[in-house]
Amino acid sequence: MRTLTKLMMAIVLATGLAAAANAADVKGLSGSAPTELNAAPPVSTLVETKKWERTFRQQPPMVPHQVDKYQIDIRANECLKCHDWQNAAKEKAPELSESHYKDRDGKQFETVYGGRWFCTNCHAGQTDAKLLIENTFQPGAGR
């Protein structure tokens, strides 16, 4: 039994050494070896000065202000301090759509439905980020 264990350990060690030797030949998508440190791209800044138009029907509006420090978890949702139907007029903020107060069967609720609770699942922040790849996307005609 001990001989078999030693043999297995020797095979594992040899396989690991062979894999390490071949790792030097591996190149990442950027053309560099995966072990080389690549500088992170610059962080994009949020664009709060203009309202970006929607590019397709039913597109959730983009968020024109910082939300990275907002608490949005199972216990709290800071977006609702301004955007809930009870607060929107007072805060001069856009009110949530009626769809946020309905479940998928159309049942109406007085509070935001749990399936719509995590705003940033659908609503992205407006940034000045550069395109990762060139594209020819054009907004749909019926938006």
DSSP 8-state secondary structure symbol assigned to residue 25 = T
d(CA 143, CA 54): 7
pLDDT of residue 38: 63
pLDDT of residue 125: 85
pLDDT of residue 41: 64
For 107-116, b where at least 16 C-beta lie within 10 A, e where not — what string? eeeeebeeeb
List the structure tokens of 6: 């030693």
The SS3 assignment for 125 reads: strand
pTM above 0.75, yes or no: no
Q: How far is CA 136 from CA 36, 111, 133, 139, 141, in A?
A: 33, 40, 10, 10, 15
